[in-house]
Amino acid sequence: MTLVGTHTFTNPVIAGMHPDPSVCRVGDDYYLACSSFEYYPGVPILHSRDLINWTQIGNALERPAQLALPPSTPSSGGVYAPTLRHHDGRFWLITTNVAPGGGTLIYTADRAEGPWSDPVRVPVEGIDPDLVWDDDGHCWCTYAGIWQVRIDPRDGRVLSDPRKLWSGSPGAQAPEAPHLYRIGGRWYLLIAEGGTERGHAVSIARGDSPEGPFEPCPANPILSHRGSGRPIQNTGHADLVQAPDGSWWMVLLGVRPGGGTPGWHVLGRETFLAPVTWQDGWPVVGELLPEMPAPWPVTPPEPEATRDDFDQAGLRPHWLSIRSRPDSSWSAGDGWLTLHARDRSLDDPCVTFVGRRQQHRSCTVRALVDAGAGRGGLVVRLDENHHYEVEISDGEVRVTARLGSMRHTSPVLPVPSGPVRLRIDIIAADGGDGHPRQEPDMIRLGTETEVLAELDGRYLSTEVAGGFTGRVIGMYATDGTVRFDWYDYEPG
């Protein structure tokens, strides 16, 4: 996100929980979509002119009719691995909602920022669906397995029996995330394999038809950091795009583990960018580094606003809620964000919550909170069973840590009546002394002037809690009404 100079950039290009990236180019503009899991609205849509600086311009799924995530939807369920394409003058998005009543769904829009259509259901069983059209106008849907059917994307009808295309490299688990491309007269099938943990990899095969048969690349996997000590790990789930100058690029997910052994990633899976060249008809992925040479002169973006004063009636597109955001649960526009409690605890599936992704290893979050008519505060959330919160109610502030079946609450701090400034500092560990159990970061919670708890950050990581998501830091209400005058996220 941060540019080091006009001819270098830093990876990830989209920091924080932005996994399973899918990209397409329309003229000089690039558009990218990511998984959103149990969060609402779903499928963030980002825009760039240089593949490096990305701005979120909306969310594809922002109406209840588009996205149903009932309370029984598990954390790390919900919306998986969208594919975003532009065809015949329209944007097409296909994804899987891994939730009761979900399934494989197609959405369309005239503009990437929306509005997007209500879903068209496709009766296929599988995640990570892809869309591609051949020269005859036939539309092919390929999905994890790796399986394929021909469909009519306008009404979702399946027009052929499912057929197995390729199983990936011998012995590699979880062939998934397929994308098909017509490049230079051949069809290329790009997949992820090895699982989305440290063994993750990108492999490719080619054939003369979208139906195959497919010949695997002799250099597979064409990208993997498994078994290495590189700072970027879990590299996989990629998509290819060609720039206007003819160069090729790969967007992919990866993580940045911190601390000792085995390394804990806390921001979730992020979006990285790598160059691609072609040799003997096969793509060759360039080295993927935290600092990369820029392919062209890059203009640094305007500094991103860190503070929200809630002066507008709506919410900016980066704000997330958990499973739904009923109109009755919130309001904004008078200089306050007002939250009305639904569920009674952050352990509950539909707690009233508005938050944003943690995007920096070190950051400070502050908010001015009026809980005179309720109970609420700030929380660092991974899922219902793993969260740290600083809360105010009845003139007292306390910190609670929920870690699986365990819960710990700090001594209370009495505060005067009226709004109170709550604060969370996340402080990444330095290089340390190499101890294998060094924590990835420390999370400090309290008020602007008093620290109530300092907690080990490894317990809010995927390696401890499991799942597919990263941290989200936000505001919540678990009783009555809680108001927030402002929220400030400051990178460390």
In a domain, 153, yes or no: yes
Examine the fold and report which residue of 262, 293, 324 is the final residue of a domain before the chain moves on: 293
In a domain, 175, yes or no: yes
Do residue 258 and residue 325 come from a single domain? no
Examine the fold and report which residue of 293, 319, 350 is the final residue of a domain before the chain moves on: 293
Distance spanning both ends of the chain, measured CA to CA: 14
Do residue 152 and residue 274 come from a single domain? yes
In a domain, 1, yes or no: no
Catalytic residue among 20, 128, 130, 343: 20
For residue 178, give its domain range: 8-293
Do residue 258 and residue 399 come from a single domain? no
Here the CATH number for the domain that contains residue 316 is 2.60.120.200
pLDDT, residue 6, reads: 59
Parts of the chain with a pLDDT under 50: 1-5
pLDDT, residue 304, reads: 74
pLDDT, residue 430, reads: 84
For 24-67, how does the pLDDT look when each residue is reduced to its tens digit (9 = 90+)? 999 999 999 999 999 999 999 999 999 999 999 999 999 999 99
In a domain, 312, yes or no: yes
Do residue 242 and residue 313 come from a single domain? no
Do residue 241 and residue 143 come from a single domain? yes
State the total domains in the chain. Answer: 2
Q: Does 88 participate in catalysis according to the annotation?
A: no
In a domain, 298, yes or no: no
Closest by Cα among 11, 17, 13 to 44: 17
pLDDT, residue 433, reads: 61
Helix, coil or strand: residue 460: helix
What is 214-226 written as a DSSP string? Answer: -EEPTT--SB--T
Do residue 124 and residue 31 come from a single domain? yes
Do residue 203 and residue 313 come from a single domain? no
Q: Does 304 participate in catalysis according to the annotation?
A: no
For residues 124 and 131, give the distance between their C-alpha atoms in angstroms, rounded to a whole number: 13
Give the burial class of 248: count Cβ atoms within 10 A of its Cβ; 0-12 exposed, 13-18 middle, 19 or more buried: middle
Catalytic residue among 38, 128, 130, 176: 176
